[in-house]
Amino acid sequence: MISRSALPLAGGAGTIIATRRPLRVTTIVSPCSARSSTAEKFRDASEAVISRTALRLSEQCQTALVSTAERAHAEALDAADPLASIRDRFELGDPDTIYLDGNSLGPLSSASRRRLHALIDEWGVRLVAGWDDWLDLPRQVGDRLGAVALGAAPGQVLVCDSTTVNLYKLASAALDALSPRHASTILTDAGNFPTDRYVLDGLAAARGLRLRMIDADPVHGPGVDDIAASSDVALVVLSHVGYRTGAVADLAATTAACAAASVPVLWDLSHSVGALPIELDRDGVQLAVGCTYKYLNAGPGAPALLYVRRDLQDRLRSPIQGWFGQHDQFAMHRPYDPQCDIRRFLAGTPPILQLAGVASAVELIAEAGIERIRAKNLELTQLAVTLYEAWLEPLGFRLGSPVDPKRRGSHVSLRHPAAESITGALVEQRVIVDFRGPDCIRLGLAAPYTRFVDVHDALARLRALA
């Protein structure tokens, strides 16, 4: 008889159920030495199989126990989360689905639903008279967004158009008025978001300039040294948070370095606004753009933000001369004469319904508090990295985001050669993430509605697939 030692099995949280079941191996030993030798070999082989099986079961049970303990830890973090009640204000679909794609599109809030319905009702009653209160919404919502999430004083932010259009407007205006004379290079990084690179490529071609794309560190992105080493630069365009890796650029130091070289810099805040504190005025930023449908949760196609520092506004002229940027909008017989303030960067009629979504989204961010949002984001991304190291790194995954939590935004990138197919399989397992080629799985961990157990369960499902 061969007895098996007790194997630890995971029961409830922190529970080990020990079992001791004797496993009986029967052998027939004949007087014949050859047959006796055969029986001994059989017995030895049986013991080896049992030993390997016991070890494998023990490892599986220990893994299950660790997973149970990790989930209990995640549950404890959720119980202590000061932002936990904010989650209830969002519509997240199927309760069994884990939504980790807010870095692409934030979910609908109940406040936005109410505000949109109220505006629709107002439209139905007031008709064209509603414009009396709607005309200045791009500036009003921009001022509020600037105060809550951008560190910008009133009169410097608009909410209008798309990120692509706003980038074109500000990049073109900067090249006309702020660039060093005879400079012939527009500088960005090869890992910058595609629309930024496309717009800059078109501007360079139209103006006979050269677009230079820095081959920066693939995880950390471009640094101050990358920018300082460049010469003959007319304009620098960078993302505050890298769309692929989540790496946070040193906005203040880079802005200062560009200012010292008298080179204008335009920041894309699409993956940082609403996710971490931004201080545009304090850090001397000249120009910035960014979307509102990611971490601000303003809705699909919501208009973008545009920031122009106050002292530069009368020096810059938008290349898109629309009637909302005209000094006297309804004096339609006059030639174009731009507004004397931030409104000169308006173009066409603003999307009033979508602006209502931005307005309600900003108030939710204000209530949650951007500092508390950032504090939770740091914890969420650190939990994801810790579980990656324990569960996924041994399975061939690689971390595509900075190890230092302060250098990460609000999403974590995991790299794997089969990332695209794994992403599809995760979605089938009701974990909504996204894929960015060639090998990145992005996990968007938005503090207002992402729980710590969501991070745990999503990575547990990912581990099970791998």
Q: Is the pLDDT of residue 43 over 90?
A: no
Residues 148 and 74 in one domain: no
322, 348, 368 — which closes off a domain? Answer: 368
**348 and 418 housed in the same domain:** no
As a whole number, mean pLDDT of residues 322-330 equals 90
Query: What average pLDDT score do residues 441-466 get?
Result: 96
For residue 66, name the pLDDT band (cuts at 50, 70, 90): low
Q: Tell me, what's the pLDDT at 261? A: 92
| Choice among 89, 294, 408, 451 that is catalytic | 294
Residue 156 lies in a domain: yes
pLDDT > 60? residue 368: yes
pLDDT at position 59: 43
CATH number of the domain encompassing residue 194: 3.40.640.10
Mean pLDDT of the region 105-132: 97
Same domain, 157 and 286: yes
In a domain, residue 129? The reply is no
More confident residue, 243 or 14: 243
Q: Is 96 inside a domain boundary?
A: yes
Query: Do residues 297 and 359 share a domain?
Result: yes
Q: Which of 368, 395, 413 is the last residue of a domain?
A: 368
Strand 157-160 vs strand 287-290: parallel, antiparallel, or unpaired?
unpaired
Is 442 assigned a catalytic role?
yes
256 shares a domain with 183: yes
Q: Are residues 209 and 140 in the same domain?
A: yes
Higher pLDDT residue, 66 or 269? Answer: 269
Beta carbons within 10 angstroms of residue 56's beta carbon: 10
pLDDT digits (tens, 9 = 90+) for 166-213: 999 999 999 999 999 899 999 999 999 999 999 999 999 999 999 999
Whether 68 has a pLDDT exceeding 70, the answer reads: no
Q: What is the pLDDT of residue 351?
A: 97
Looking at the domain assignment, is residue 430 inside a domain? yes
One domain for residues 73 and 36:
no
Q: What is the mean pLDDT of the chain?
A: 87
Q: Is 234 within the bounds of a domain?
A: yes
Same domain, 374 and 364: no
Number of domains in the chain: 3
- DSSP assignments along 61-94, one per residue: HHHHHHHHHHHHHHHHHHHT-TTGGGGGGEE-SS
> Lowest-pLDDT range, 33-47, 118-132, 376-390?
33-47
- The span from the CA of 51 to the CA of 58, in Å, is 10
Q: Which of 415, 442, 451, 463 is catalytic?
A: 442
Residues 352 and 377 in one domain: no
**268 flagged as catalytic:** yes
> With pLDDT > 90 as the criterion, what percentage of the chain qualifies?
81
Residues 270 and 140 in one domain: yes
Q: Are residues 310 and 388 in the same domain?
A: no
Q: 265 - beta bridge partners? A: 236
pLDDT tens-digit series, residues 381-424: 999 999 999 999 999 999 999 999 999 999 999 999 999 999 99
Cβ atoms of 94 and 429 within 8 Å: the answer is no
Q: What is the mean pLDDT of residues 295-318?
A: 97
- Banded model confidence at residue 336, pLDDT cuts 50, 70, 90: very high
Domain membership flag for residue 1: no
Give the closest residue to 455 by CA, choosing from 366, 362, 392: 392
Q: In the structure, what pLDDT confidence band is assigned to residue 17 with cuts at 50, 70 and 90?
A: very low
Q: Is the pLDDT of residue 15 over 70?
A: no
Output the pLDDT for position 35.
39
pLDDT digits (tens, 9 = 90+) for 140-149: 999 999 999 9
Predicted model pTM: 0.85
The one catalytic residue among 90, 99, 193, 449: 193
Which of 268, 434, 439, 457 is the catalytic position? 268
Q: 104, 319 in Cβ contact below 8 A?
A: no
The pLDDT-based confidence of 332 (bands split at 50, 70, 90) is: confident
Q: Is the pLDDT score of 374 beyond 70? A: yes
85-116 pLDDT, tens digit each: 999 999 999 999 999 999 999 999 999 999 99
Is 50 exceeded by the pLDDT of residue 6?
Answer: no
- pLDDT value of position 401: 98
Amino acid 36: pLDDT: 44
- The verdict on residue 118 lying in a domain is no
Residue 401: partners with Cβ closer than 8 Å, 6 or more residues away: 219, 245, 246, 247, 381, 385, 408, 411, 412, 413
Q: Give dist(CA 138, CA 149) in Å, integer.
A: 16
What is the residue range of 21's domain? 7-51
What distance in Å separates the CA atoms of residue 266 and residue 238, rounded to the nearest whole number? 7
What DSSP letter does each residue of 246-258 carry, written as one string?
-BBP-HHHHHHHH
In a domain, 88, yes or no: yes
CATH number of the domain that 456 lies in? 3.90.1150.10
Query: In the annotation, is 294 catalytic?
Result: yes
Domain end point (choices 350, 368, 386): 368
At residue 218 the predicted structure's pLDDT band, cuts being 50, 70 and 90, is: very high
**pLDDT class for 9, splitting at 50, 70, 90?**
very low
Q: Which DSSP category does 388 fall into?
A: I
What does 133-202 look like in DSSP terms, one character per residue? HHTTHHHHHHHHHIIIII---TTSEEEES-HHHHHHHHHHHHHHHTSPTT--EEEEETTS-HHHHHHHHH
Establish whether 193 is a catalytic residue.
Answer: yes
Q: Are residues 177 and 232 in the same domain?
A: yes
pLDDT greater than 50 at residue 3: no
* H and E: helices and strands count for the chain: 12, 17
Catalytic one among 90, 99, 168, 293? 293
